[in-house]
Structure 1
Amino acid sequence: MIEFNFILNFLDLVFLQGDLLGLRGEGPLGSADPIVKGMLPSALGIIGFSILLNLFNAGVRKKLVDSVKLKRIMKETKTWQKARMAAFKSKDQAKIDELSKKSKYMNKMSMEMMQMNMRPMMITIIPLLLIFYFLMPTLFSYTVAISPIPLNVIPGDFFQLTCTAEKMALDVENGIGPFCGTENEIFLWAWYFLTAIAFSGTIMKLTKTSMNE
């Protein structure tokens, strides 16, 4: 089962990358004259932020979420969904009708599970915004690592993880930047996103906040 934390990280970073606060200006998040110089120190520094923020998220989650109740709801919901799917496959109408009677209750449980998972995000998003918008851009450059391949798997310009030759040429044409030194450099926000996802599962297991424990 995919960790709900992955979804939360994705939602966080969509929000951050979109610059809804209007603080980023013309270019991506970062500085033309960062305090931390060089890609390796920058990449390692952001990994440090990723680990610390994941630990903070796990701590908040441990305090706010009743893990025993959450796991019980998850198990009950999964069992019901599995039984319902089996009934549909076997075309057992009597079983389908029996399980359908619990639909309202199961929907209520699913909503409660969603609320329990979203509650920590309402708290952790505030320090994340402060760090992401006011601290990281002064510490690090626009790009902090290089990928051997393009990582822009989602079509369009909104969710670009790495620099493209087309975007670099467009920036030159518009007289802004440069924000990238070469193609496939990874943006600051994107490197944080990737490293946060990479460490979240391990940290949740170590802190016993994983839903799969």
Structure 2
Amino acid sequence: MNFQDLLMQFFSPQYTTNPWFPDMLSATIVALIIAVAMNFAFAMLRKKTTDIEKMNRVMKETNEWRKQYTEAIKKQDKPRIEELKKKQAYVNKMALEMQQQQMRPMLIYMVPSFLIWIFVFPAIFGGTVAMSPIELPFVTCSQDNVNTDTQTRTNEDGTTALTGPCRIPGQVYLWGWFLIGSFGFSGIISKITKTSMPSMT
């Protein structure tokens, strides 16, 4: 086994077959609570490391400049286009600064989050944590996934094990449930923590 294979094996999540929450209901609720808590923690980190008011002001100013520039081009208003072009360097500089501000909390959050995802969550929850009444591609187990995952394989020690986590069509993968929970509550958390950002359009 070469170094690349060892590295991939080390950083590949090892989902437990004996999760702390063996029943689907408790796993669903606890995983959702953790997803919301992590989303809240990220929002608070962003609030602490980012000048939200300045970012909102810069984003509004940038959006207004883009709107005016687009309208000037549509109307072929050359004097107005030239006038707005003089401000383009300033707008680009502010947009770059804004992007750097957004990246700062993300980079701080990413490393511990990655380690938790690789070493902690798979050992606590296993591969699936919830049930969905509808099939969502790549998020829930399909019948093909069930057919593949319920086959047995022989380990190096001679024991046998199922090849994957899917047992029933509609089971939601661990990462999928965290994704749904995070997106579902992100808007509410942004309003509570006052970290919502205006749209770039």
| TM-score bucket (shorter structure) | 0.7 to 0.9
Whole-angstrom CA distance in 1 between matches of 2:30 and 2:9 = 25
1:104 aligns with 2:89: yes
State the match for 1:195 in structure 2.
181
Q: Which stretches in structure 1 are left out of the alignment for 5+ residues?
A: 1-18, 153-159
Distance 1:174 1:182, change over 3 A: same
Contact 2:128 2:173 (8 Å CA) reproduced: yes
Q: Which residue of 2 aligns with 1:86?
A: 71
Equivalent pair of 2:150/2:167 in contact (CA under 8 Å): no
Q: Does 1:73 align with 2:70?
A: no
Cα pair 1:50 1:199 within 8 Å, conserved: no
RMSD over aligned Cα atoms:
2.1
Structure 2 CA distance for aligned equivalents of residues 182 and 170 of structure 1: 12
- In the TM superposition, residue 210 of structure 1 has moved relative to its aligned partner by 1.4
Structure 2 length-normalised TM: 0.82
Instruction: Determine which of 192, 207, 210 is the counterpart of 2:193.
Output: 207
Residue type at the aligned position of 2:131: I
| Percent of pairs with identical residues | 37
Would you say 1:64 and 2:49 are equivalent positions?
A: yes
Aligned to 1:15: none
Larger Rg: 2
Question: What is the aligned partner in structure 2 of residue 169 from structure 1?
Answer: 147
Q: Which has the higher contact order (CA 8 A, sep 6+)?
A: 1
Aligned to 1:40, which of 16, 21, 25? 25
- What is the CA-CA distance between 1:21 and the residue it aligns to? 5.9
1:122 to 103, 107, 111: 107
Under a length normalisation based on structure 1, what TM-score does the superposition of the two structures give?
0.78
**Structure 2 residues not aligned, in runs of 5+:** 1-7, 154-161
How far does residue 100 in structure 1 lie from its aligned partner after superposition?
A: 2.1
Contact 2:141 2:173 in 1 (8 A): yes
